[in-house]
């Protein structure tokens, strides 16, 4: 996921204009091979009209990230598939783990297909896009979080068991609501990245000199503002993040002061609070210094989002089944 973020930030995703799940494992090996793939890249809008890669050295640089991203995707697929088949053959899996393991494998396969579906939006003949569709980018990132989330939940079940202590029904309910808001924030983060909306305003908390920019929500029909306007994208993303941070701190503080948490739940609540505050500070720093540090900070911001996602799942898991009440 980190390499995927760097691939997006370096505009490397369209450097490989075809999809060869088996033969694509091998990179270009000769000068003639490199000339051929570079010529293919120069036929798509990004290669024709942008300055992302105008020389062979620049092209090799962006090709590296996309190639590495695809190779890692194949590695993840094998890590999911081969142990699953082995454990099935050895009859080591419960019925629940058979189903979850199959879902994990299917999600990896679907993620590969969605990854190509995303790239295809920028390499299809006749397209005018110089980057991939931000809708498909959001789908690709969202599915990556879903895949990671399922794997992490399986780890929590195997480590702690399904009969988890606590049973704090209301607290768990509100934590799940905040997790849903976090997932929405991740999708808007993909929109911001896909539309390069982070460059619209690099000030915080105001956008320029205004709290609410004058040109906000100006597109017609109205729904286009919510999913296609870079100014609105940044506005929504920054304020969802702010509200989510305040709400999570409030929930965590309430949980810690309640006296109802056991040691595991208390530790998970602390981790959640630390990570949400760190992610908020990182998000603001990314916004303020994006022009100077356009790769490292956004990549770390996405990575910490993954840690925060893990913390939400760990906290919710440790609170027990929602059908119990204490």
Q: HSE of 301 in the Cβ direction (CA atoms, 13 Å)?
A: 26
Domain boundary among 154, 181, 200: 154
Contact 134, 107 (CB under 8 A): no
How far apart CA 274 and CA 63 sit, in angstroms, is 37
Position 167 scores a pLDDT of 53
Asked whether residue 29 falls in the same domain as residue 108, the answer is yes
pTM: predicted TM-score of the whole model, two decimal places:
0.92
Question: Quick one: 57 and 168 in the same domain?
Answer: no
Domain total of the chain: 2
Q: What is the DSSP letter of 1?
A: -
Pair 218, 134 in one domain: no
DSSP H helical segments within the chain, as ranges?
A: 2-9, 31-41, 45-49, 56-89, 95-123, 134-160, 169-194, 223-227, 230-258, 263-289, 296-318
Regarding whether 205 and 150 lie in a shared domain, the answer is: no
* Residues 41, 184: Cα–Cα separation, whole Å: 34
Question: Last residue of a domain, which of 132, 154, 176?
Answer: 154
Residues 199 and 118 in one domain: no
Output the six-digit token pair for 151. Answer: 């794997």
Phi then psi for residue 142, to 5 deg, are: -60, -40
- Counting residues of the chain whose pLDDT is more than 70, the rounded percentage is 96
Please indicate, yes or no, whether residues 171 and 105 belong to a single structural domain of this protein: no
| Residues making up the chain, counted from first to last | 326
For 210-238, the pLDDT digits (tens) are: 999 988 998 999 999 999 999 999 999 99
Q: Average pLDDT in the 27-44 region? A: 94
Question: Would you say 200 and 210 are in contact if contact means Cβ atoms under 8 Å apart?
Answer: no
Whether 186 and 74 share a structural domain:
no
* Main-chain dihedrals φ then ψ at residue 120, nearest 5 degrees: -60, -30
Residue-number span of the structural domain to which 20 is assigned: 1-154
Please indicate, yes or no, whether residues 283 and 219 belong to a single structural domain of this protein: yes
Pair (66, 210) in one structural domain? no
Residue 324: pLDDT band (50, 70, 90) is very low
Q: Which pLDDT does position 320 carry in this prediction? A: 80
| C-alpha distances out from residue 52 to 4, 17, 111, 200, Å | 17, 15, 26, 20
User: What's the CA gap between 21 and 209, in Å, rounded?
Assistant: 50
pLDDT, tens digit, for every residue of 239-285? Answer: 999 999 999 999 999 999 988 898 999 999 999 999 999 999 999 99
Do 57 and 175 have their domain in common?
no
Same domain, 76 and 173: no
239 and 148 together in one domain: no
DSSP letter (8 states) at residue 196 = T
């Amino acid at each position: 996921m980190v390499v995927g973020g760097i691939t997006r930030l370096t505009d490397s995703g369209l450097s490989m204009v075809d999809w060869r799940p088996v033969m694509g494992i091998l990179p270009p090996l000769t000068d003639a091979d490199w000339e051929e793939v570079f010529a293919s890249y120069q036929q798509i809008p990004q290669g024709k009209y942008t300055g992302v890669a105008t020389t062979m050295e620049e092209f090799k640089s962006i090709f590296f990230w996309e190639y590495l991203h695809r190779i890692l995707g194949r590695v993840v697929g094998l890590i999911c598939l081969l142990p699953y088949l082995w454990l099935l053959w050895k009859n080591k899996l419960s019925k629940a783990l058979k189903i979850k393991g199959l879902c994990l494998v299917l999600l990896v396969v679907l993620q590969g297909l969605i990854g190509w579906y995303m790239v295809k939006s920028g390499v299809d003949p006749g397209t005018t896009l110089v980057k991939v569709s931000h809708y498909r980018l959001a789908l690709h990132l969202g599915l990556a979080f879903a895949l990671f989330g399922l794997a992490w939940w399986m780890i929590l079940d195997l480590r702690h068991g399904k009969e988890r202590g606590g049973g704090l029904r209301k607290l768990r309910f509100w934590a799940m609501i905040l997790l849903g808001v976090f997932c929405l924030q991740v999708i808007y983060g993909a929109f911001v990245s896909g539309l390069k909306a982070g460059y619209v305003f690099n000030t915080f908390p105001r956008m320029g000199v205004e709290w609410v920019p004058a040109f906000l929500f100006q597109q017609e029909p109205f729904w286009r503002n919510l999913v296609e306007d870079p100014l609105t994208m940044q506005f929504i993303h920054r304020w969802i993040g702010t509200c989510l941070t305040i709400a999570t701190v409030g929930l965590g503080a309430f949980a810690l002061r309640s006296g109802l948490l056991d040691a595991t739940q208390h530790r998970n609540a602390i981790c959640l609070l630390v990570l949400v505050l760190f992610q908020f500070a990182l998000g603001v720093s990314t916004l303020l210094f994006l022009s100077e540090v356009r790769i490292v900070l956004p990549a770390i911001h996405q990575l910490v989002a993954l840690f925060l996602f893990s913390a939400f799942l760990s906290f919710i898991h440790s609170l027990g089944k929602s059908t119990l009440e204490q």
